[in-house]
Amino acid sequence: MMHTNPEAMLRGALELSGDTSAIELKSADDDAPEQIVTKALADLTANVNAKLAEIEQKAADQNKLGQRLDTIEKALNRPATGAASIESGDQTEERKSFVNYLRTGVVEQKALAFGAPSTGGVLAPQEFSKTVLEKALEFSPVRQIASSITISGPMISLPRLVDEVEPASVTETGTRAEDEPSFEQIDLKPFEMAVIVPVTRVLLEDAHINLEAYLGDHIARRFGKKESTAFVNGNGTTAAEGVLTSTEVGQLVAADDVNLTADELIDLFYSVKSAYSANGSWLMNRATMAKVRKLKDTDGSYIWQPSIAAGQPATLMGRPVLEAVDMPNAAAGTTPIVFGDFAAGYVIVDHVAFTTLRDEFTGASTGLIKLHARRRVGGRVVLGEALTKLTTAAS
């Protein structure tokens, strides 16, 4: 029977563990060999367990780091949804839920409103519904091509030459005839337009858009539309005098009650003096423009010349053609076209610019806030010879 050396067995185990300094062997004189081995193995086991726990903790930390890196990589690779990242701290619950719905199709009841399928099903939060759909508003371009004056009083008077000085031929010592010009005075008066829009205080507070600012812009556009209409068709008593209603503007009567001809447009062009035609503009609506664009001269060429640069109007006999929505269609007894120098022939007078007033007191007892808006503007033909209009024959 072979006897093993306990001290040799212990040192072999320590060498396998890689740490020979973990325990200290005592001599056989101090303790029995069995006690030495038992104590050494206990110390070795505690040392190995501590190292294993340290290794497992490091592995767990690396695993968490890898998961975080994967999350960041997925967020960076995620397609944009039009909203900020869900992980950002400034997101509201509504926005988080809405973006989550766009990504997954899952609706969180606590953040979104529900309704029958016919109502759309999902109500977007504020950040996704700040645009108000509104029909396009068209304006006549008279203000762009006419002259304008800003006044501070209720009226402005303009002197207008009536009779010119007429020189005469004389001999060297002959008597010189005397002559002097005569003038008349024409008045331009601004007319007031106004509107009051009552809005509940609750609606102003709860609307998803800046409702007061939107209403201000909307009313301003409507005022612009109204004044543009007056510059073309105004009666001159409660609104600006229109180009078509002025008795000072000459006219050319077309032979046909509907169909226009190239010759009539040529006659219209040359019916005003060269000084005016050189700075003239054509005014007609879109339907008339379509008719005129099809007209050809005697050589078979279209008299309409398309624009050669973006943003520039087409030309007719070298002068720009402007679309005026308030001009009538070519029908029996209408005036579908006006041509001439509007800067010389028509003057717009501005007195009070578009202003708004917020009235919080008048309707306070019923929870209403009233938005008052007003504008004072006028206009009239001041030199009729600078303009001419084409009128169709009555049927």
| Whether the Cβ atoms of residue 371 and residue 358 lie closer than 8 Å to each other | yes
Q: Is 58 exposed, middle or buried (0-12, 13-18, 19+ CB in 10 A)?
A: exposed
Percent of the chain with pLDDT strictly greater than 90: 41
pLDDT, one tens digit per residue, over 26-85 is: 444 555 666 766 776 777 777 777 777 787 777 777 777 667 767 766 665 655 544 444
pLDDT band at 118 (very low <50, low <70, confident <90, very high): very low
pLDDT, one tens digit per residue, over 224-277 is: 899 999 999 999 999 999 999 999 999 999 888 778 999 999 999 999 999 999
Category of 18 on φ-ψ map: left (φ > 0), alpha (ψ -120 to 50) or beta: left
Q: Closest by alpha carbon to 340, among 240, 243, 261? A: 243
Tell the residue number behind the tokens 């078979």, with chain if given: 300
Average pLDDT over residues 313-335: 93
Q: Closest by alpha carbon to 239, among 279, 180, 194? A: 194
Q: Hey, which residues does 359 pair with through a beta bridge?
A: 370
What was the pLDDT predicted at 281?
97
Per 3-state DSSP, what percentage of the chain is helix, strand, and coil (rounded to 5)? 35, 20, 45
